Copies of this chain bind each other. A is one copy, B any other.
């Protein structure tokens, strides 16, 4: 979930409410806040706490709320996790500490030390492009020995890795394996994943929900059709800017065009300008036309 902002360090409260309702109405199985798309690391701790509280209060346990606690500082990760538990969240999500890269044995020990401090179950978040360090498969296997670690979100974009992670589920059939990049959501479910943490579900939750359902049900034709539409959304909305932040900018801009929430970005990033917004607007029209034909 993106974090709707009105200004620096100010939530767009009304936009947040609309966004949450749209997702729940769309049928999502859960909400993941304070992740990469949620600009988690760019937000003040005060705002992170406010966001966690507001989302939990609004969701009222209709779906599970997962809270990102990825941090370079161990103690701050624990602080956010404790606050999340108090607010009523259901789980926390952590990528490896991402300033000075740690080795795998250090990462395993980090998990061993972190988990006992957490009042909520933990999902691992594999995001090597941004954290430099990957949860290597041996580390995932190690994590599976810990019953408080309950799943993995893989944003590596490496389907081979994902499949091998799926192969480890024999050891922990209760684990939840989720994929980040929505461009391979269908394939991830075919490979044994449960679903996706898809940025585009901020915009069109029903599309992603239907895609997961079709894939899980083995309806290959329908899943391919829906996946093709997801690929088209990604191609038309996420690559307008040239920089790595263009995915989030594209999603927030489209949400603003749809009247859902503000497209203010946390520093050091900035919303699209008029020219790029016009492009988003016209592409959104095409997407909505295409979506209307899919009878979601």
**A244 interface residue, CB < 8 Å from B?**
yes
Count residues of A near B (Cβ-Cβ below 8 Å). Answer: 61
**A32 interface residue, CB < 8 Å from B?**
no
Which segment of A15-23, A201-209, A266-274 sits at the interface? A266-274
**A6 interface residue, CB < 8 Å from B?**
no
Point out the residue from B72, B97, B130, B164 that lies within 8 Å of A231, measured CB to CB: B164
**A174 interface residue, CB < 8 Å from B?**
no
A52-91 vs B: 1/0 string, CB under 8 Å?
A: 0000000000000000000011111001000000000000
A100-126 vs B: 1/0 string, CB under 8 Å?
A: 111100110110011000000000000
Name the residue of chain B whose CB is nearest to the CB of A137: B235
Q: Which residues of B contact A8 (CB under 8 A)?
A: 74-75
Which segment of A141-149, A182-190, A251-259, A280-288 sits at the interface? A182-190
Name the residue of chain B whose CB is nearest to the CB of A242: B103
Name the residue of chain B whose CB is nearest to the CB of A110: B268
